[in-house]
Structures are given as C-alpha cells and as structure tokens.
Amino acid sequence: MNHLYHLLEKYLSQHSEEQWSCASVVTKSGSSYRWPGAMMMISPWGKSYGLVSGGCLESDVIRRAQKVWQMGQTDYVIYDTADEESFAASLGLGCNGKVGVLIQAISPQHHELLTTLYHRMQNKQASYLLQCFQANISDHINHWVLFDESGELVISTLNESTADDNAKLQLIDGFDRLKEQLPDRQSVHVAGDNHWAIAKITPPKHLWVLGGGLDAEPVVELASTLGWLVTVVDHRVGYAREANFSKAKNVLNLMPGKAAQQGGFQLSDAFICMTHNKNIDADWMKELAGASQAKYIALLGPTSRKDEVMAMAQVSHSFSKKVNGPAGSEYIRGDLPESIALSMITQCHIALQQ
C-alpha cells in the first residue's frame, strides 16, 4: 500500500528517537510514474516505505537519504531520463521525463506536521501540503506548510522570525490562486526567493462491502491493495468472519438498520451490496437511500433482479438510477469470483476518480 495514509500509519507506529528521512516528489515534467505529493519514509538503517518512482530510483534515493542524515543537509535532486549523463538515464528507463525529489531529515516539527496530516486523513479531510525545495536561505528548504481546503493555515514548520512570517503571509495571500493552478495535481509557486511545491493530499477511499460471503473476499483483497479502507458488514451467523477478511479495516456483524449509527457509514465513498438475498439487499437499499452520499453504489445481480430489489425497498426512481446494477465494468467479463471482483472494483475506481 503506497497511499500516504498507510505510509504515515507505519511510520508513526515505529517512530522513536531514530532520525528518519523523507523523500518527496515535488516537481515533474513529461512522463513520470508518480505525481508530486508522493513520498517515501526512510529509516537511518535503510528501511523504507512508499515509492517515488516505479521502483527504479528508490535505491539511489535511499543512498542519498543516508547522506542527508549523516551530513545534515537537504538534497534536491532532479532525475532526468533524457540526460545521458544522469543516474536515471543510466538505467535505460526511456520515460522521457524529469522528476524532482526533495530528500530531507524529519525534524520534530516535520513529525508534528505529519502527525496532523495523518489525523486529518483519518477524519476524511483533504489538505494542501506546500514544501520549499529551492531558496536563497538554505534553512527555508526544509520548511513545510499545511493548509485546509478553505485556505486556512493548519500548521507550519516556519519559525516565528520576521522573515518566516513574511514567507508565511505570502503563501496565505496567494493560496486561492495556487489552488486554481492544480488541475493537473501539481504546481510550483514562487514567493520571493522561495520555490514551493504544492500538492493536494486526499484521504484514502472508504468502501463498505455489504455481505460477507466467500465471493466478497477477493473484493476486499483488491480494494485493500489499492490502499482503500474497507468495512465488511453482515449480520448472518457464519458470514463476515474476521479470519476471512484480514485485509479489512473493520468487520461488523450488524443488521442493515443499525449501520447508519456507525460513524463511517455516512462518510463512506462507496458501497458494494452482495448479500445474495433479495430481502437483505432491499433493506440495504432502503438504508442507503436515506443516509448515504456515496459516489458509488453497486448491487450484484442482473438488471431484472435490481428492479425487483428496488421495488421491494420502495426507493425513489432517482436513487435507483444511481445504483449500478448489474455491478461491474462491461469491459471485464468472467465468472470467477476474482474476475467479478476485478470488474466491480474497476467500475468503482473509475467512479471515485470523477
């Protein structure tokens, strides 16, 4: 799992007095595997979480991170696959792009900011992370600033000096313009002598799988591999056993009518209903029609079954149109549980990116 949420979860669970480093993709041009905002967390002994490329640059990043830790100096390196003299070109990647990676030691101030960012993702809050990667004042290169979606300053590693206050004010004053520059998920902002990379950090997707039968297992496996947080729920004896869903964040034994009382229900991004029981499906559809703002809802089974379930649930026509039934992408066919799971997760993934 390479979503920043999971990287921070691992890092924060192991944080001690050891001096960890962080590598962040801050700029890109042309083709590259990861976008600005992607991170690696690196221990002083070379253990790492996350990727800044497809796996080809990581060994060099780890080597540089160890130097950063030893020398106490931040490193901003550009990997250019078109430059025949560069490390990236020597690997024969052929990506025809440049990626700028900022490698720095994690200070107590950075640790506090990362902890805040993690808690915001836990609460389903998106954030904007600004990282200074070029500056005349070397100390500024280490600084990060975190904004919420409305442009309010959440936390900063900048000190309370006049110069740092001015840098902070320049960022705050220009934040609305910065957000408008993010249609391609990246931007670079020049404030005085400082170059700041800005990336939107979003929380992981939340999926509820309604029905804990055997065919739900590959659905949970695939969704978890994507870094999604998955809740499996089924009230029937013999279903939704925790031993069968080790990758799920939560496994709940609840009746449909009790689900709305769970805090994560109304915050979930997607629901896939696969109980194989029309009466239970109808109860779930009634519950979702009244409580959910999810971007994706799917019901297993053919169109005729969906129509019957919706009639039993007595939900509105507008809600019925929102429900994908039969669940899954029309381009992925198959009758194995794994291929059906792939089809549904593909359709869900597309819907959640819109």
DSSP letters, 226-282, are: TT-EEEEE--STTSS-GGG-TT-SEEE---HHHHTTSTTTTT-SEEEE--S-HHHHH
Instruction: Judge if 230 and 178 occupy the same domain.
Output: no
Instruction: Judge if 230 and 316 occupy the same domain.
Output: yes
Average pLDDT (232-237) is 94
Name 105's Cβ contacts closer than 8 Å, sequence gap at least 6: 19, 20, 21, 22, 68, 69, 72, 74
Domain boundary among 181, 201, 221: 201
Instruction: Judge if 253 and 337 occupy the same domain.
Output: yes
Instruction: Judge if 210 and 197 occupy the same domain.
Output: no
- Tell me the two tokens of residue 330: 């029309």
Give the strand pairing for 206-210 and 229-233: parallel
Q: What are phi and psi of 268, to 5 degrees?
A: -70, 145
pTM of the model: 0.87
Instruction: Judge if 235 and 268 occupy the same domain.
Output: yes
Instruction: Judge if 110 and 193 occupy the same domain.
Output: yes
| 32: pLDDT strictly greater than 60 | yes
Instruction: Judge if 72 and 186 occupy the same domain.
Output: yes
The domain total for the chain is 2
Q: How far apart are the first and last CA of the chain?
A: 22
Instruction: Judge if 86 and 223 occupy the same domain.
Output: no
Instruction: Judge if 272 and 349 occupy the same domain.
Output: yes
| 162: pLDDT strictly greater than 60 | no
Average pLDDT (314-338) is 92
The domain in which residue 241 lies consists of: 206-353
pLDDT tens digits, one per residue of 276-310 = 999 999 999 999 998 768 999 999 999 999 999 99
Pick 321 or 82 by higher pLDDT: 321
Domain boundary among 173, 201, 229: 201
Average pLDDT (179-191) is 58
CB 166 within 8 A of CB 192: yes
CATH at 343: 3.40.50.720
Give the whole-angstrom CA distance, residue 205 versus residue 223.
Answer: 9
